[in-house]
Structure 1
Amino acid sequence: MARVSSRELVVLGTGSQAPTRTRNHNGYLLRWDGLGLLFDPGEGTQRQMIRAGVAATDVHRVLVSHFHGDHCLGLPGVIQRMSLDRVPHPVHAHYPASGEEYFRRLRHASSFHETATLVPEPVRAPGVIAEGDFGRIEARPLDHPVPAFGYRLVEPDGVRMLPDRLRALGVRGPAVGELLRAGTIVAGGRAVTLAEASVPRRGQRFAFVMDTRLCDGVFALAEGADLLVIESTFLDEDVRLARDFGHLTAGQAGRVAAECGVGRLVLTHFSQRYPDPAAFGAQARRHFAGDLVVAEDLTRVPVPPRRPHPAR
């Protein structure tokens, strides 16, 4: 039986430096079929996970962009909860290698009985940091006052079988799977190739871009993303503040999404100085005409359907 695809972003927090009554510190759980990726667990993430129905056993990898408190102070609680709940699988932790000491302190912030297996995998250079059936996870450096990385999940390219072509070629039943696996089979007295019965299917892509000024890494991560989660800490009228503190404005985030061909844009990491989150969406819309979400805590954002492949 084919595995049912289940891909969505669970937003656990959308605040920035300080939480508010309605916005927790950062936290984002990406469900990617059977894989759970927890990004930037800020203070309060463990409780937000409970509110969102996310279990510690749902997490397979933790990815920290940098070691400012609003992106990492939830680590002690999340790590200890993994042991409390006796998570049966190893959990890999990715974070800037320059913050190794911060990670060590957060991991052992208090006394607890450690039963879960946490595998530290510090990120030392840009490139692929993990590979598996899900594809590959890449890291790219960002431009922030402290060392920071953004992350990108890339599914392998595949093919989409064409039912009309399969019928015309006399390929049916178990032979379809055999053709997919082997690339060539004999049907109707002749060799049939996979290329005759399918079209290329581009793998889906997810990108996570947190605290940064505009830089090459931002565009490299966002390129062709089906779902882009990106900070928009400031509104455009405060672009100087954004630059000084190493952040993006809503308009800049919209421009990135437009230039990189993003499918669905999720704005988050909002400064507490702004009372109306709708203003972020309005400014991003000046550049990006696609699907846009101004994130709220506990929002669930589906990864959009695969984009149709041009007809052959």
Structure 2
Amino acid sequence: MRSSFFARLVNDPFGDPALYVRVAHRREALLFDCGDLHPLAARDLLKIQAVFLSHAHIDHLCGFDQLLRTFLYREQPLLIYGPPGIGARIGHRLAAYTWNLIRGYPLSIEVREWAAGGQGLALHFRAAEGFQPQTPRPFACPAGLLHDTPHYQVRAQALEHGDILSLAFALEEKTHVAIHPDALEKFGYSPGPWLSRFKDLLRAGAPGTTPVDVPRDAGGRVRRPLAALAGDIAHCEAGMKIAYVTDASPSRENAAKITALAENAHLLAIEAVFAERDRHLAVERNHLTAGLAGRLARQAGAKKLLVFHHSPRYQGEAMLLREEAQAAYAGAISPLA
């Protein structure tokens, strides 16, 4: 399978949490947590369609101001998702500045709050109105579904992080449409933007008789029914999945939720704050150990493991945490009693 999502940590594993995910062929990206964003160029920031905040600790939210400053002239709205209360917190951040010179600016921000019962709140802020909050309205998030597009969706799972909630997220491609280059060559079809529309039609379940105009290498176009064209040049399979987990207490309840959320993920990006030798600190400070992160990835059947959010006490020992996580992921470390 060719990757549909390209994920990378914005900072090194000791830096602020922020996972940048570029969506292939879409000129768009998603951001999971919003720590220090200075390593991202403005062109990368401007591709962000939605931000998913696990919670509002400063290391997960301090990059918001940079994002806001970059987006002020953007016409496309910015979506922000997070736990209950995140709308008011974003509102306070916006209210901290003087906005008397932005009345003509197009930016609008919508903050959508997850809720356990599937009925959260959405708050809207417009630059043209000085980012004064509008009346909150209901936001439906059934079964944790936060963000739904024709191409992918994002679900949330609430984890305990001491006495607050921290959201974990799963980004899933709805259907992966694989194009066969040799078939394109065989039929003399010219690759190009039409393939994106073709894939969109398949994902949307369009009727098989839907006509698709296909450019030819030799010039001109040929019109083919969607189903026949799909049979000639493509096949569909389960889509790509990325799970993101951070700031979670090392409890059995959280472990069960994480493995369910990350089941069969192509990538699990998960915090590994402490080494197993310091498990007492992990319990005390409500974070995961590297060994537990690796075991959860193994239990979930994740195909790849990415650990981050290391405690600064291990500066110079990053390899220790990576190796401990990988050993547990490979099954070399037995589960804790």
TM range (shorter): 0.7 to 0.9
Tell me which residue corresponds to 1:301.
none
Describe the SS at the equivalent of 1:29.
strand
What is the TM-score normalised by the length of structure 1?
A: 0.73
Spell out the pairing of 1:19-168 with structure 2 (5 A cutoff): 23-33=14-24, 34=26, 35-42=28-35, 44-45=36-37, 47-50=38-41, 54-83=43-72, 86-112=73-99, 113-114=101-102, 115=105, 116-125=107-116, 126-145=143-162, 146-158=164-176, 160=178
The structure-2 alpha-carbon separation of the partners of 1:90 and 1:288, relative to structure 1 and needing over 3 Å to count, comes to same
Q: Distance in 1 between matches of 2:170 and 2:34?
A: 17
Q: Distance in 1 between matches of 2:209 and 2:188?
A: 14
Q: Distance in 1 between matches of 2:95 and 2:9?
A: 26
> What's the offset of the Cα at 1:102?
2.0
Q: Distance in 1 between matches of 2:109 and 2:189?
A: 43
Describe the SS at the equivalent of 1:97.
coil
% identical equivalent positions: 26
> What's the offset of the Cα at 1:140?
0.6
Q: Distance in 1 between matches of 2:79 and 2:168?
A: 16
- 2:233 is the alignment partner of 1:233: no
The structure-2 alpha-carbon separation of the partners of 1:76 and 1:37, relative to structure 1 and needing over 3 Å to count, comes to same
Tell me which residue corresponds to 1:309.
none
Write the letter of the residue equivalent to 2:246: M
Is contact 2:87–2:112 with CA below 8 Å preserved after alignment?
no
Tell me which residue corresponds to 1:217.
257
Write the letter of the residue equivalent to 2:156: A
Higher deviation after alignment, 208-217 or 229-238 = 208-217
> What's the offset of the Cα at 1:65?
0.3
Deviations 1:221-254 (A, max 9, x none): 2111111111111111111211221111111111
The structure-2 alpha-carbon separation of the partners of 1:99 and 1:194, relative to structure 1 and needing over 3 Å to count, comes to closer
Q: Distance in 1 between matches of 2:21 and 2:181?
A: 32
Q: Distance in 2 between matches of 1:89 and 1:99?
A: 21
Write the letter of the residue equivalent to 1:139: A
Is contact 1:128–1:139 with CA below 8 Å preserved after alignment?
yes
Q: Which runs of 5+ in 1 are unaligned?
A: 16-22, 186-190, 291-312
Describe the SS at the equivalent of 1:49.
coil
Q: Distance in 2 between matches of 1:210 and 1:32?
A: 22
Q: Which runs of 5+ in 2 are unaligned?
A: 117-142, 211-226, 332-337
Tell me which residue corresponds to 1:253.
293
Q: Distance in 2 between matches of 1:98 and 1:147?
A: 11
Tell me which residue corresponds to 1:207.
243
Aligned residues: 266
Is contact 2:176–2:240 with CA below 8 Å preserved after alignment?
no
Tell me which residue corresponds to 1:307.
none
Is contact 1:14–1:270 with CA below 8 Å preserved after alignment?
no
> What's the offset of the Cα at 1:80?
2.5
> What's the offset of the Cα at 1:138?
0.4
The structure-2 alpha-carbon separation of the partners of 1:48 and 1:165, relative to structure 1 and needing over 3 Å to count, comes to closer
Tell me which residue corresponds to 2:8.
10
What is the TM-score normalised by the length of structure 2?
A: 0.68
Q: Distance in 1 between matches of 2:176 and 2:228?
A: 18
Is contact 1:40–1:64 with CA below 8 Å preserved after alignment?
yes
Q: Distance in 2 between matches of 1:165 and 1:39?
A: 37
Write out the 4+ residue segments of structure 1 that deviate beyond 4 Å after TM superposition: 158-166, 170-174, 176-181, 191-200
